[in-house]
Structure 1
Amino acid sequence: MFTALDAPTERLDKHEQNFVEKIRNHGWFGTHVMPDSEGPGFIYTTGFWLKFGFPEVILFSMRQQTAQDTFWTIYRELEAGRRPPIGEPTDAVFQNVAAVFLPVSLRQYPNYLGWSRWFYGNDEFECLHLVYPDRDGHFPWAAEASAEARAAQPDLTDGNWQGLRKVS
C-alpha cells in the first residue's frame, strides 16, 4: 500500500513532513480538530489501518489528552493482537463504561478525515467511530439520551446510527 510514508521528503511541506515523521516514529498520529459553530471537536487516528489493518478511529467531544490516551490503549490492544468488537458494546477501551465501535460512512470522510485521506491518497481505508454513553449510561441513539449528548457525538454511520435506534 502506497502512503505518504513513501513520498520523497522534498515534495512534502514542513507540516506534512512532521505528520509523516510522527507516524514513522510512533506507528500512528492523532489529528485534533477544535469545536466550532458547525459542530463538536474531535480527534482521529492515522496509521492504525497501515500498521494493523484495523480501521482508523474517530472520537468526539473528549479532551485531547484523554482521547490520545484512549488511542494509545487501542494501539496497545492491537499490538497485543486483540481487536475490539465492532457494533457491540465493549469494556476493552474505557475503565468505567462500555463503548461501541461503529463503521464511519464513506460520505463522511471528506468532512472529518482530511489528513488520513491525504496520507493514504484515497478513501480506501476504513474508519470507526468510537461512541461512548452519556453520564446516565445512554448511547446517543437511545431515546433516553439527552439532546446535548446527541449533539456531542454526531452520527457518522450510514444513517440512524446504522439501525441502532428505531425510527419513530
Structure 2
Amino acid sequence: MQMRTALDADPDMLDGKERKFVAEIREHGWFAIHVGADEGRPGFTYTTGFCLKFGHPELIVFSLPLQIALDTFWHLDRELEVGRRIPVGVLSSDIFTNAPAMLLPVSQRHYADHLGWSRWFYGGNGFECLQLVYPDRDGHFPWSSDAPVDIRAAQPDLTEGNWSGLCAR
C-alpha cells in the first residue's frame, strides 16, 4: 500500500506555501526546511520526502549553516539513489569528508516541535526521522562526558533520551 501524502491532496485545497512545498517535492522528490535559531534555541534543517522517495527516514540536523545542511542532504540523496545506506547508531565517515557523524532515531515526542512540514505532508507522525549528529572541532560529540557546553546546546538530543544510551558508554 502506498503512503498517502500531501501529493494526493486537491491542489485547490492548498494555500500558496503548501502548493510550492508540494511542487518542490514533485520536482526533486524531497524538500529541505530550515528553521532559524531563536530564543536561545539552535537553528535546524530537516527533509521531507526521503521516506516517500527512498523508503528512508527523514533527516534533521542542528546548527549547520543552511548551505552545508543542503549540500549534506544532496550528498545523502545521491548515496540513497544508488542504494547505499548509512547505518544507524554507528559512527560513519560517509556523510562528511572531514569528520565522522552518526544517525540516531528521533523520538516521535519531538516531531511536533521540529518536523511541522513533514507532519503536514505525511498527515501525522506516520514516518521515521533520523538526527544527524556531528562532533565539534576537537572530536567531541554532544553525549561525550568531556563535550563542551556549546556543542551540547548546538545539538539537542531528539532521541528517546540519553542519546539512545550513548551517554552511558
- Asked if TM exceeds 0.5, the reply is yes
Alignment pair present for 1:120 and 2:105 = no
Match of 1:41 in 2: 43
How many residues get paired? 167
User: CA RMSD, aligned part only?
Assistant: 0.9
2:79 aligned residue? 77
1:166 deviates by 1.9
Query: How many angstroms does 1:88 deviate by?
Result: 0.5
Q: What is the Cα deviation at residue 122 of structure 1?
A: 1.2
Runs of 4+ in structure 1 over 3 Å off: none
Partner SS, residue 98 of structure 2: coil
- Corresponding residue for residue 155 of structure 1: 157
Q: Deviations over 1:96-139 (max 9, x none)?
A: 10100000001000000000000000101000000000110011
Mark the runs of 5 or more structure 1 residues left unpaired by the alignment: none
CA distance in 1, matches of 2:135, 2:98: 11
Q: Does 2:55 correspond to 1:31?
A: no
Matches within 5 A, 1:59-98: 59-98=61-100
1:132 aligns with 2:134: yes
Deviation at 1:142, TM superposition (A): 0.3
Residue deviations 1:25-47 (CA, integer Å, cap 9, x gap): 01100000000015100000000
Letter in 2 for 1:119: F
Q: Of residues 20, 23, 26 in structure 2, which corresponds to 1:21?
A: 23
The residue aligned with 2:110 is 108
Normalising by structure 2, we get a TM-score of 0.97
* Runs of 5+ unmatched residues, structure 2: none
C-alpha separation between the residues in 1 aligned to 2:99 and 2:66?
19
- Counterpart in 2 of 1:53? 55
> Residue deviations 1:42-94, cap 9 Å, x none?
00000000011100000000000110000000110000100101001001110
Identity percentage of aligned residues = 60
Q: Is the partner of 1:107 in helix, strand or coil? A: helix
